[in-house]
């Protein structure tokens, strides 16, 4: 039986050995809903911080656009693209917020500047000028001269894949695509036309 998490781990390790910047970068797609009823997909890059059989974890400001969208519609998709390797992995599934202890643990590993930025940034909100943000950073540095606690509005999300798609480039656009999906008995897989 196939283990898509194991295959993903191998592909990510290959990317870590070949990609010059952020091999853990992935596009996160969420559902945006406006008060007037309009609905559309919204996508941006995030950094994968943890993964395993329980899912794929990334962190963000809960009050950001993606944080609000995930709270309202807890479904998302991730796409990893490693151009140098000519590989891509897509996955989709439900999203849940990680426990506070897990968010605290990860936040404590972040560089101090990133911790202060989490406090200073009203992520996704309009910013009148760069100096306003820089002043907020100075305020947070003064507020937290020692250890910086995790802000209550900052946490992580775990996407638990329903399916994975592994894509490899082939000559003549005859790509190899394999879909793996979760069943009650475990993971099964099948090929897709390129």
The CA distance from 19 to 23, in Å, is 6
Query: Alpha helix locations (H) across 80-184?
Result: 100-109, 112-120, 130-143
Active site residue 173: yes
The CA distance from 133 to 116, in Å, is 11
Q: Which two tokens stand for residue 137?
A: 């950073």
173 - beta bridge partners? none
The CA distance from 89 to 44, in Å, is 16
Q: Which two tokens stand for residue 178?
A: 């394999």
The active-site residue out of 68, 173, 177, 179 is 173
Judge contact between 82 and 115, C-beta under 8 A: no
Query: What DSSP element (H or E) covers 47?
Result: strand 39-47
Helix (H, G, I), strand (E, B) or coil at 13: helix
Q: Is the dihedral of CA 89, 158, 16, 20 positive or negative?
A: positive
Which residues are designated catalytic?
Answer: 173
């Amino acid at each position: 039986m196939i283990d898509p998490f194991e295959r993903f781990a191998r592909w990510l390790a290959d990317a870590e050995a070949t990609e010059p910047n952020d091999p853990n970068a992935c596009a996160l797609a969420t559902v945006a809903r406006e008060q007037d009823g309009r609905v559309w997909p919204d996508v941006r890059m995030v950094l994968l911080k943890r993964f395993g059989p329980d899912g794929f974890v990334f962190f963000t400001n809960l009050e950001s656009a993606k944080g609000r969208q995930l709270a309202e519609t807890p479904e998302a998709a991730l796409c990893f693209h490693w151009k140098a390797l000519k590989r891509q992995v897509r996955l989709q599934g439900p999203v849940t917020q990680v426990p506070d202890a897990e968010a605290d643990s990860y936040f404590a590993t972040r560089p101090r500047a990133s911790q202060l930025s989490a406090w200073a940034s009203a992520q996704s909100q309009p910013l009148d000028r760069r100096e306003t943000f820089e002043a907020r950073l100075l305020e947070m540095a003064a507020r937290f001269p020692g250890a910086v606690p995790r802000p209550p509005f900052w946490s992580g999300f775990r996407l638990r894949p329903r399916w994975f798609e592994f894509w490899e480039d082939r000559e003549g656009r005859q790509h190899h695509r394999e879909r793996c999906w979760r069943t009650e008995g475990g993971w099964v897989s099948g090929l897709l036309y390129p």
